[in-house]
């Protein structure tokens, strides 16, 4: 029984933030006539307002809503791109918040971008090391080689997860220091502010949710190696 409880707690910790964020987005995704434009239209308007005409707005069919600093593009999921819901405008403003960080050359976003690139490379290296480990151990007949690859693989994947966690301040800044003040300046009704805060919190913690979910991938590899 204690083992089962531990598994349930771990599942809740890993998937809880992700479930909560997705639930929040879906809950407030209903189109509202009092919102005059779609997420894409608001994003375009805000980018022009902050003199970022060279930043594009695209609909993305794959992946989540995000700002791509390499191509200088705000990418929105189909629902948030096309609809005039509280979720759509809040998420659009959050991603524009990242574009503002980029335009101003804020150090946090620059560090986050480099860390994310490093995290992606680290995860690929970790997965490759874990695959090669048993083969290398057999070919070299040296347990130390296999152990070294195991430590390198597990360590790099765990480090990648940690890197995602430390970028959370960038997300909170985009939500509450950028998007919320903008939306409060005349883009949402006062009665909607509490809901928008929830959505922006979910947008900020989506990154955390993805990071925690990546821990499950690490656990799966460890479970496979123990067999």
Give residue limits of the domains in the chain. 2-226
Task: Give this prediction's pTM.
Answer: 0.79
Cβ(116)–Cβ(163) below 8 Å: yes
Q: Which of 119, 95, 85 is nearest to 217 (CA)?
A: 119
In DSSP terms, 58 is beta-bridged to 75
Residue 43 DSSP SS3: helix
pLDDT value at position 8? 73
**Which pLDDT score, from 0 to 100, does residue 125 have?**
75
What would the pLDDT profile of 27-62 be if each residue is shown by its tens digit? 999 999 999 999 999 999 999 999 999 999 999 987
Quote the pLDDT of residue 74: 98
- Residue 68 is classified by DSSP as E
pLDDT, position 202 = 92
Q: CB–CB of 143/150 below 8 Å? A: no
- CA–chain centroid gap for 24, Å, is 15
Task: Select from 224, 98, 218 the least CA-distant residue to 162.
Answer: 218
Cβ-contact 35, 86 below 8 angstroms: yes
Catalytic residue ranges: 95
Determine which of 7-21, 104-118, 210-224 has the lowest per-residue pLDDT on average. Answer: 210-224
Q: Which of 70, 86, 102 is nearest to 170 (CA)?
A: 102
Predicted pLDDT at 13: 65
Mean pLDDT of 92-108: 95
pLDDT tens digits, one per residue of 170-196: 999 999 999 999 999 999 999 999 999
Average pLDDT, the chain: 83
List, in sequence order, the alpha helices (H) in the chain.
Answer: 2-27, 39-49, 78-82, 86-103, 107-140, 143-166, 168-172, 180-184, 193-226
CA distance 79 to 93: 15
95: pLDDT strictly greater than 80: yes
């Amino acid at each position: 029984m204690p083992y089962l409880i531990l598994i349930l707690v771990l599942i809740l910790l890993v998937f809880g933030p992700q479930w909560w964020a997705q639930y929040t987005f879906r809950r407030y995704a209903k189109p509202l006539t009092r919102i005059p434009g779609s997420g894409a239209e608001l994003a375009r308007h805000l980018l022009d307002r902050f003199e970022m005409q060279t930043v594009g707005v695209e609909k993305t069919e794959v992946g989540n809503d995000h700002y791509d600093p390499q191509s200088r593009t705000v990418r929105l999921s189909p629902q948030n791109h096309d609809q005039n819901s509280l979720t759509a405008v809040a998420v659009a403003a959050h991603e524009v918040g990242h574009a503002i960080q980029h335009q101003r050359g804020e150090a946090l976003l620059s560090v986050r971008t480099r860390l994310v690139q490093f995290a992606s490379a680290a995860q690929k290296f970790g997965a490759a090391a874990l695959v090669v480990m048993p083969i290398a151990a057999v070919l070299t007949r040296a347990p130390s080689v296999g152990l070294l690859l195991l430590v390198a693989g597990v360590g790099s994947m765990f480090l990648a997860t940690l890197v995602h966690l430390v970028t959370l301040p960038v997300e909170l800044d985009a939500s509450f220091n950028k998007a919320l003040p903008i939306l409060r300046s005349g883009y949402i009704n006062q009665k909607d502010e509490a809901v928008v805060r929830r959505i922006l919190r979910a947008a900020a913690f989506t990154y955390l949710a993805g990071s925690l979910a990546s821990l499950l991938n690490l656990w799966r590899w460890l479970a496979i190696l123990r067999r």
